[in-house]
Structure 1
Amino acid sequence: MVDTLVTSQGREIAYHLTVGRGPTVVFLGGFKSDMTGTKAVFLENWAVETGRAFLRFDYSGHGESSGAFEDGCIGDWYEDACAALSLIDGPVVLVGSSMGGWISLLVARAMPERVVGLVGIAAAPDFTEDGFWAGFDAAQRAELEREGRVALPSEYGDPYIITKRLIEEGRERLVLRSALRLNFTVRFLLGTADTSVSVEVALRLLDHADSPDMRLTLVDGADHSFSSDVCLPMVVAAIDDVSAPAAGGEGG
Structure 2
Amino acid sequence: MTDPQFLTTETGRKIAYHLTEGKGPGVVFLGGFMSDMGGTKAVYLEEWAKKTGRAFLRFDYSGHGESSGVFTNGCIGEWAADAQAAISTLTEGPQILVGSSMGGWMALLVARAMPEKVAGLVGIAAAPDFTEDSMWGGFDAVQKVEMAETGRVALPSEYGDGPYIITRKLIEDGRENLVLRSPLSLPFPTRFLQGTADADVDTSVAMRLLEHVEGGDVRLTLVKGADHRFSTPECLNLITKTCEKVIARAKF
Same fold judged by TM-score > 0.5? yes
Q: How far off its partner does 1:136 sit?
A: 0.2
Matched residue type, 1:229: P
Stretch moving more, 233-242 or 167-176: 233-242
Q: How far off its partner does 1:142 sit?
A: 0.6
Equivalent in the alignment of 1:55: 57
1:166 lines up with 2:170 in the alignment: yes
Equivalent in the alignment of 1:219: 223
Name which of 189, 210, 220 aligns with 2:214.
210
Post-superposition Cα deviations, 1:124-180, rounded to whole Å, max 9, x if no partner, equal 000000000000000100101100001000101200000000000000000000000
Equivalent in the alignment of 1:39: 41
- Aligned partners of 1:231, 1:132: CA distance in 2, in Å? 27
Equivalent in the alignment of 2:124: 121
- Write out aligned runs for 1:96-107 (5 A): 96-107=99-110
Post-superposition Cα deviations, 1:172-220, rounded to whole Å, max 9, x if no partner, equal 0000000000110100001111001111110000000011111110101
- Aligned partners of 2:117, 2:140: CA distance in 1, in Å? 41
Q: Percent same amino acid at aligned positions?
A: 66
The list of structure 1 runs, each at least 4 consecutive aligned residues, that deviate by more than 3 angstroms after superposition, is none
Equivalent in the alignment of 1:233: 237
Instruction: Tell me the SS of whatever aligns to 1:103.
Output: helix
Matched residue type, 1:122: A
Equivalent in the alignment of 1:186: 190
Matched residue type, 2:246: V
* Unmatched segments (≥5 aa) in structure 2: none
1:134 lines up with 2:107 in the alignment: no
- Aligned partners of 2:194, 2:187: CA distance in 1, in Å? 22
Post-superposition Cα deviations, 1:89-119, rounded to whole Å, max 9, x if no partner, equal 1110000000000000000011111101000
- Aligned partners of 2:72, 2:42: CA distance in 1, in Å? 23
- Aligned partners of 2:178, 2:244: CA distance in 1, in Å? 28
- Aligned partners of 2:91, 2:231: CA distance in 1, in Å? 27
